[in-house]
Amino acid sequence: MSNFSIKVKNLSKVYNNHTVLHNLNFSFEENGIFGLLGRNGAGKTTLLGILMGLVTPSSGEVLILGKNLKKQKYAILNKINFQSPYVDLPKKMTVRQNLAFYSRLYGIKNFKKNLLILSDELRINKLLNKSFGSLSAGQKTRVSLCKALINKPKLLLLDEPTASLDPETSIFVRKYLDNYQKANKSTILLASHNLNEVESMCKKIIILKSGKISAEGKISDLLKSRKHSSFEKLFLEN
């Protein structure tokens, strides 16, 4: 078995003669929470799209859980999932209908029992019969997170998972993700602008700047090697 959840080699992406990602090389080991940082336009969304198999790279190779994403995409997709507050589920369907649909899509056995457990853990029991479109931002986040965990992914990709949430819900989501990762020995890649969130949760980070890696490693090591007094200063200068 591979020791890496994600391994990227010489990865580039070009749109209309504009290079969005420049020859990226990085890896994240299995079992941990890792951070992906960068200002708007740095290439984070494109990179996440490539890792999910939704965007085709112009060159390079991506290995997910030891498998080549280009050659073994469908074998990989059953073992990964994604959540973002910027991607809605079907609004007219109830929460229960949405989660049942994705359970069937992933071929989940005993999905009703699985749904009961997850809905209890994520405190969405009382939302199951409501339409997704009628929910508040915080409720939608918890439902979308439930969808993302429906197949117990070995690799979970998160794009701003606590954006627009109140402090109490943000703390709940962070604690839940941390406990989930430890219990399942899974890998979580967290793309976020919340520096406190990344610093408290992630064992290693990558900072993208104009499609290139400007910093990579453990936050404590980067602060030492670059002689920064805070993570905020490290980010702002990269």
Look at residues 157, 187, 188 and name the one whose alpha carbon lies nearest to residue 3. Answer: 187
Q: What percent of the chain has pLDDT over 70?
A: 99
What does DSSP say about strands 187-191 and 32-38: parallel, antiparallel, or unpaired?
A: parallel
Backbone angles phi, psi at 5, to 5 degrees: -80, -35
What does DSSP say about strands 204-209 and 212-217: parallel, antiparallel, or unpaired?
A: antiparallel
Q: Tokens 């992933």 appear where?
A: 106
Q: Tokens 């670059």 appear where?
A: 226
In the structure encoding, which two tokens stand for residue 134, read together? 């009628």
CB 164 within 8 A of CB 137: yes
Domains in the chain: boundaries: 1-79+156-238, 87-152
211 Cβ partners below 8 Å, 6+ apart? 13, 19, 20, 21, 22, 42, 43
pLDDT tens digits, residue range 88-147? 999 999 999 999 999 999 999 888 999 999 999 999 999 999 999 999 988 999 999 999
pTM, whole model, 2 decimals?
A: 0.93
Q: Give me the pLDDT at residue 145, please.
A: 95
CATH 3.20.20.120 fits 1-79+156-238, yes or no: no
